[in-house]
Amino acid sequence: MGRLRRRAVRGDRGAGRPSHPGPAPAGRRGRRPARAIARPRPGERRLNRPNPVIQQGIIVNSPVKSAIVVGAGIGGLTAAAALGRAGIDVVLCERGPRLRAAGFGLSLQSNAMNALRTLGLGIEDELLRVGGRALSATYRRPDGTVMRRVDVAPTEALLGAPAVVLARPDLHEVLLNACGDDLRVELGAEVVGFTETADAVTVELADGRALSADVLIGADGINSAIRKQLHGSEPIRSGEFVCWLALAQFDRRFVEEGESVQYWGTGQRFGISDLGAGRIYWWGTQTTTAELAADWPHGKDDLLARFAGWAPGIAEIISGTPESDILALPAQDRPAATEWGRGRVTLLGDAAHPMLPSFGQGANAAIEDAVVLAHALATEPDAETALRGYEQRRIPRSVMFVEGSRRLGELEQTTDPERVAARDAYMSSEAGHTRSLEPMTWPGFGDPETPGALPRPLSPLERWHWTADQVAPLHILSRVRVTGDLTADAVRTGLAGLVRRHPMLHVLVRSDDGRDPQFVPVAVQPIPLREVTSGAWTAELDTELRDRFAPGAPLLRATLVTAAPGVHDLILTSVYTIADAVTILSFARQVLEFAADGAVGWVPEVPALPGPEALLPTEFQDPEGKRAALAGLMAAAEADQELEPVRLAADAEVAPGDRLSRATRRVLGGPEYQALLSACREHGVLPQSVVAAALAQAAAADTGVPQAHYPVGVSVLFREHLARPLDDRHTGAYQAMIAVPTPAGPPLWEVAAGFEAEYGARVAQRRHLAGLLGIEYLLPETPAQADAAVAQLDARGPGNLCMTVLDTRDFPSRIGQWDIEGAEFVSGMSISGLLMLTVGIGADELSLNLGYVAGLLSAERADALVGALVSALRVDASV
């Protein structure tokens, strides 16, 4: 027989090296054209991409309008599709005479699938159509005995996206179609160099042509010409093993549906993956010298001899595959680079970070690169800032890929008998997983210094909110009044933009029967919108506070109430697990902004963040600081008890699971509100301070104990108190309680002044942040075991008489063609306490919404409390 077909290594280009010798196993593991000097040549393929509506305000008005992508492999094609989605014109340069892909297979892992989802091009559906969904991975010894079998489903559920095994040509075609028909492709375009000016970069082609654009992306593989000009000649590093790769069609099945099997020997491995419809992707490896791996001299007879005596079926697979269809490729990489580009030029995929195939992440990492690059170019103010930001986000992860793949490759291909035995024993054990979850986790667009990649465990604060919501609904909602022609379709457009901007709006919380809850990314779904064609928005409050979110649905829903012709109330409802008062009102503003712009295209993402506790200042992070903060909090609580504060009594016992919220509302507006604001200025106190004083007086009227102190629990919105302050675009619940014993007997303004001073001092001491540290000790193991925590909160918790205040005076009074007013929010209580007064300090009115647990507090008492509160504010405002 002859010599096996050998291809020069081209990274992630069409004639490329493998992203993995077999799929990675599951387990833990005005549109401006490009400035082209030359005319299009005959045979050039033009592909039209979709023309999304991109409006200023939706996408930052970046000066980057055009890009040259060198290399039409997986990374280059994904970059072309992603950049096109971002409104950037692309010229794709391929040095070959046609667009093609090598005939072997690969596995797209959940990280690449989640990255592709951000483009909204339906690529995932197409991949599942042409490929096979990975269902299981089996590890065997050469004789076929099983070391370990791994079901993919738990990993897929945790990571939020499937793994797909498919033929590389099929992936190539799916990505090409995603680019659309407007993509300009230059074939026979071998790049020999580039030059830069202040506002453009020009590439020179071997045939004398030149092409110019705003930026240049080198996606031209391990032997990248762009990389060579940037960094000079660098030696390629051998992995010291050769890979054989092939696609084949057989009438009989060698593996189960959706199964990947790997046989691990000494210095040799063999793998088979099901592609569906009788197709398989198979691969083999052999440890050898760098020289032999780079120029393998042997044919199929030699390959059969090497795997003689291995499990039944392997020889049949090799024999049944035409020799011309078997590729022999060296396993190669380069040392991880800490610098990729300069000026208007950067690298992508194997041009930036060629890696050994052991992690199975070559193609996946290139896809991640492309999506992050497009996001950066769409959202940063200039080209160089965008490119350096892209590199900053991607380099740490690429270093992990390169170094981790090399370490794993050395273990997989070892010929040391002792290491082989230890490796196989590990693979056979319960803990025997060969991949961690980190490579398969999509890191998103976040700052590498503040990683918030999904999936991730819920933080203690988030877990408490989730636990409470599992026992009884704990919802928060916003309402804004919109005057003008606001249609349901416009709201749906706004919601579509919102859900694409915020990763936390396409997550689910998954747990093991209530244990270890995790935020897991899922495919984008439309935010549910309910239309109410007549009536008052307040009639929807109890429904929104009580109705649980449907399993698998987004953690946000919308209601559009038409109060009168041309007058609408937009209600958004979420859960405290992902939203606080700032978040839910910010969502309302963003929905209307997206609706006004009519955006249906790419939306720059606001990255998901780690849990609030991970963002706290340093003194609340280290063990000694935590101990000091908790000790100070306990001492302060004991001092407060000396005042013998009086708590509101419940009307009746209500089981935790039966605690549903209701709401009652009052508004202070017109001259009365202006009089209150004037009196606040005269007395030198803030409106929230006088509301707290009036709340204590209302509590005294309820209990009949007028001279007592009442523990007013204030929910402090602490975004500005974090180590790195957050603006209102960042999704999350950043509020924590401070209880302030407040006397009811003295005159209202005297109490208000005292409250303001004491509250300010406690906030300055960061008692609310210290309180977050104690939540860990309150958490039950599962929501079903929450009774003890509920009893503790009923007896001593700050939710007995509490309030959250938000100044809404800076909420826009006009968005697009609509007039806006009445921005406010309402909170439920669930098992966290008795009642929550939400206070909206607006431009024209003071909104007072009392959310309370029905049964613990009767509707009559709730009305009386709010009535007494408003009366106190009216009387004193008129003085």
Q: What is the pLDDT of residues 393-410, one digit of tens each?
A: 999 999 999 999 999 999
598: left (phi over 0), alpha (psi -120 to 50) or beta: left
Q: What is the pLDDT of residues 90-126, one digit of tens each?
A: 999 999 888 887 788 999 999 999 999 999 889 999 9
SS (H, E, C) 393-448: HHHHHHHHHHHHHHHHHHHHCCCCHHHHHHHHHHHHCCCCCCCCCHHHCCCCCCCC
Overall average pLDDT of the 240-261 stretch? 95
**Placement of tokens 């387990």 in the chain:** 27
Element (H, E) at 260: strand 259-264
**Does 44 score more than 90 pLDDT?**
no
How sure is the predictor about 62, in pLDDT bands with cuts at 50, 70 and 90? low
Q: What is the pLDDT of residues 271-280, one digit of tens each?
A: 999 998 899 9
Query: Pairing relation of β-strands 237-249 and 215-218?
Result: unpaired
Q: Which domains does the chain have, with CATH numbers?
A: 5-440 (3.50.50.60), 456-597 (3.30.559.10), 612-877 (3.30.559.30)
pLDDT at 511: 95
- Enter the pTM of the model: 0.88
* Encoded tokens for 372: 């992050």
Type of residue numbered 115: A
* Encoded tokens for 319: 């024999």
The angle that helices 362-379 and 383-412 make with each other, rounded to 10 degrees, is 170
How sure is the predictor about 878, in pLDDT bands with cuts at 50, 70 and 90? low
For residue 93, give the 3-state DSSP assignment. strand
Element (H, E) at 539: none
pLDDT at 38: 33
Distance of CA 700 to the CA centre of its chain: 47
Question: Which residues does residue 556 pair with via DSSP β-bridges, in sequence order?
Answer: 574
Query: Pairing relation of β-strands 237-249 and 279-287?
Result: antiparallel
The angle that helices 110-117 and 362-379 make with each other, rounded to 10 degrees, is 30
Question: How many C-beta atoms surround the C-beta of residue 523 within 10 A?
Answer: 12
Structural Rg of the chain based on CA atoms: 31
Share of the chain above pLDDT 90, in %: 83
Of the candidates 665, 668, 710, 664, the residue with the CA atom closest to the CA atom of residue 875: 668
pLDDT at 476: 98
SS (H, E, C) 565-609: CCEEEEEEEEECCCECHHHHHHHHHHHHHHHHHCCCCCCCCCCCC
Q: What is the pLDDT of residues 569-604, one digit of tens each?
A: 999 999 999 999 999 999 999 999 999 998 666 778
* Encoded tokens for 753: 């002044």
When mean pLDDT is compared across 102-111, 235-244, 560-569, the lowest value belongs to 102-111
Burial zone of 173 (CB within 10 Å; 0-12 exposed, 13-18 middle, 19+ buried): middle
**Does 530 score more than 70 pLDDT?**
yes
Q: Which positions ≥6 away from 68 have C-beta within 8 Å? A: 34, 90, 91, 93, 201, 203, 211, 212, 213, 215, 216, 217
Question: How many C-beta atoms surround the C-beta of residue 745 within 10 A?
Answer: 14
Distance in angstroms (rounded) separating the CA atoms of residues 782 and 508:
17
pLDDT at 386: 95
How sure is the predictor about 328, in pLDDT bands with cuts at 50, 70 and 90? very high
For residue 240, give the 3-state DSSP assignment. strand
Angle, CA 521 vertex, CA 557 and CA 772 arms, to 5°: 80
Query: Pairing relation of β-strands 259-264 and 136-140?
Result: parallel
Of the candidates 400, 378, 582, the residue with the CA atom closest to the CA atom of residue 500: 378
When mean pLDDT is compared across 1-10, 471-480, 601-610, 813-822, the lowest value belongs to 1-10
DSSP 732: B
Question: How many C-beta atoms surround the C-beta of residue 566 within 10 A?
Answer: 13
Average pLDDT of every residue of the chain: 90
Burial 484-500 (b: 16+ CB within 10 A, else e): eebeeebbbbbbbbbbb
Type of residue numbered 732: G
pLDDT at 422: 92
Q: Which positions ≥6 away from 588 have C-beta within 8 Å? A: 478, 479, 480, 570, 572, 823
How sure is the predictor about 52, in pLDDT bands with cuts at 50, 70 and 90? very low
pLDDT at 877: 59
Type of residue numbered 2: G
Distance in angstroms (rounded) separating the CA atoms of residues 12 and 9:
9
pLDDT at 605: 86
**Does 25 score more than 80 pLDDT?**
no
Overall average pLDDT of the 508-531 stretch? 95
